[in-house]
Structure 1
Amino acid sequence: MATEDVPAVGHGEPRISSRWGQERRLEFIDFRLQWDGRINRSALTDFFGISTPQASADIAKYQDLRPQNMEYDRSLKVYVRAHEFAPAFPVSQPSRYLNELLATATGILPRDATFVGWWPSVAVAPFPSRRLDVEVLAALLKAIRSQEGLRICYQSMSRTEPTSRTISPHALGFDGFRWHVRAYCHLRDRFLDFVIARILRIDGTEASGQLQERDSEWHTTVTLKIAPNPGLIEAKRRVVELDYGMENGELEFRCKQALLFYCMKHLGLAADSGVKPEEQQIVLKNRAEVERFLPFRAP
């Protein structure tokens, strides 16, 4: 079977692309070595449904790319992770591994759809899930792709009865708990977030008349600078710095302006609430700058 040469990743070297094929199987080998500490041909044949000779060729290819990453253990009859191991693919990073555990623990993915081999015991703090109407979501996706407007029946928190309105959706957003559709509201004459679960039905299509490029809040990013709460003692501030991976006592990250309110709310940064430092362990260093970008939200 012909295979495409894949360059290794290192300092100053090109990144490895991720595609279905041998490159995907090389990612699998890298992932299993990183998190299981071992790989053999049967792991590849079972997961990808390939032949034993092809699995052998894949392992040999990986050895060519990263010869220092694994050694053959004759007693176990498997390749094991070497002390000099360094992951070759982004798929082997801790965030990917933990996200796969999370996705399976919450029922989003079946175990056999992930690269994880050995499974630790995992539990997730539960929260109520919101049921979404299949037809509503399908209509939203079609409208986004086709750049169409939709007539919807929407139940907002600000009104006791549902209202009919036309929206022109262009993106989806997740606030950490709920899915929203970002859309131009023809009733309010502005771009807003609509909670998808509150769209009761789709009543038809309309001409959009609005371009997503006009949604400045969606296309504007805001930099937040967080630091340990100064009310904490020094030892506890160091723990907070470790938790968030802060450098020099602070961390910067970026957020779309349209999602800024939700981000600040989840981090407890929406307002100076006066809670105990142990309960609100981080503070927003550039609050005055950030609050200028807080968007209008209620549809």
Structure 2
Amino acid sequence: MSNAAESRLEHIEFVLLFRGSISRQDLIEAFEIGEAAATRDFRQYNESCPGNMHLNSVTKRWEIQVDSFKPCFNHRAQSVLSRLRGQKYSALLGISFATGAPRLSLPNVNILACVTRAIANKKAIRVRYMHASGSCKNIEIAPHSLVDNGIRWHVRAFDRSQQKFWDFVLGRISNATVIPDPISDTESVDADHQWNRIVKLELAPHPSSKNLQNPKAIEFEYGMQDGFIIQEVRAANVGYWLRLWNVDCSLDQSKRGKQYQLYLRNPPALYDVVSAQLAPGYNPEIGN
């Protein structure tokens, strides 16, 4: 079977599964094929995946047979949601989709292009950067990765002035120029310990009834086994995710509020994690 034919069969199943029905015209319009080709595709899908659909003789639409349906293609939740929020499928299925909070901070495209060129060619860049402290400085950084922390975009880079790896908000860079000389090994991604270190986070329902009255609901929602789940993330990003997920990282689970429905079961995992300072309830003096 060609890749094109397989894509059409997968489309038949996707629409069938998530809308409940699909017509020959739907397939013709989606792939700009003829009626004969569309008829062959439906026949092939029906033969390959028997019991998944039946033809409604009145509406001339193929409808899902829920009781006997067994998918022939793998539909992962993250991939499905990504497709549903796109214009093509949201319009086809008649679904309104809120894609998340509006971005308050977006990088300048020309700055972004300069950063990605530097990453791709293993070069450093000279930038003018506005720090949150209020100072605006010209610095040289050697970028190696982009990070979307859910709120803004960062570039992970080696800061030559501070001699350490750090995250720089792309939206705070007002000027950027690629430096032609190659970067050193100590400035490369392989030398970034916090980036390459993987931290295992054990997340569990918050024990306080003021935060969460039904822990079982959280266990079910997140598919927890034995009352917790494990997420493996880069140490450089740990603080971002714990803040985004509203995870109580205090040693005594003392954070209060309905937003804190999870807590960190293994605070020692944050030892020597620089980004942990962003985590709710984390006390750098104690080190958790």
Deviation at 1:175, TM superposition (A): 0.6
Q: Which runs of 5+ in 2 are unaligned?
A: 279-288
1:296, 1:266 → 2: CA distance?
12
1:266 aligns with 2:244: yes
Q: Given the alignment, which residue of 158, 182, 198 partners 2:172?
A: 198
Deviation at 1:116, TM superposition (A): 6.0
Over 3 Å counting, the alpha-carbon distance change for 1:274 and 1:93 in structure 2 is same
Q: Given the alignment, which residue of 231, 243, 246 partners 1:253?
A: 231
Counterparts of 1:135-174 in structure 2 under 5 Å? 135-158=110-133, 160-174=134-148
Q: Any idea what SS the aligned residue of 2:93 has?
A: coil
Structure 1 partner of 2:270: 290
Over 3 Å counting, the alpha-carbon distance change for 1:133 and 1:219 in structure 2 is same
Deviation at 1:46, TM superposition (A): 1.0
1:85 aligns with 2:59: no
Counterparts of 1:1-299 in structure 2 under 5 Å? 3-4=1-2, 21-83=4-66, 84-90=68-74, 92-101=75-84, 103-104=85-86, 111-112=87-88, 114=89, 117-123=92-98, 126-158=101-133, 160-207=134-181, 208-209=183-184, 210-232=187-209, 236-269=214-247, 271-272=249-250, 274-276=254-256, 278-295=258-275
Over 3 Å counting, the alpha-carbon distance change for 1:261 and 1:121 in structure 2 is same
Q: Which runs of 5+ in 1 are unaligned?
A: 5-18, 105-110
Over 3 Å counting, the alpha-carbon distance change for 1:23 and 1:224 in structure 2 is same
**Cα deviation code 1:98-134 (max 9, x no counterpart):** 3344x44xxxxxx13x476222344466445223211
Over 3 Å counting, the alpha-carbon distance change for 1:197 and 1:77 in structure 2 is same
Q: Any idea what SS the aligned residue of 1:153 has?
A: strand
The aligned amino acid for 1:226 is: L
Over 3 Å counting, the alpha-carbon distance change for 1:205 and 1:22 in structure 2 is farther
**Cα deviation code 1:225-257 (max 9, x no counterpart):** 111112239961112212222222111111111
Deviation at 1:277, TM superposition (A): 6.1
Question: Which of structure 1's runs of 4+ aligned residues deviate more than 6 A?
Answer: none
Identity %: 25
2:77, 2:274 → 1: CA distance?
32
Deviation at 1:198, TM superposition (A): 0.9
Deviation at 1:270, TM superposition (A): 5.9
Over 3 Å counting, the alpha-carbon distance change for 1:30 and 1:265 in structure 2 is same
The aligned amino acid for 1:60 is: R
1:291, 1:121 → 2: CA distance?
43
Alpha-carbon RMSD across the aligned residues, in angstroms, is 2.7
The aligned amino acid for 2:231 is: F
**Cα deviation code 1:156-211 (max 9, x no counterpart):** 213x2321122222211111111111222222222221111111111332322233
Aligned residues: 271
1:44, 1:289 → 2: CA distance?
51
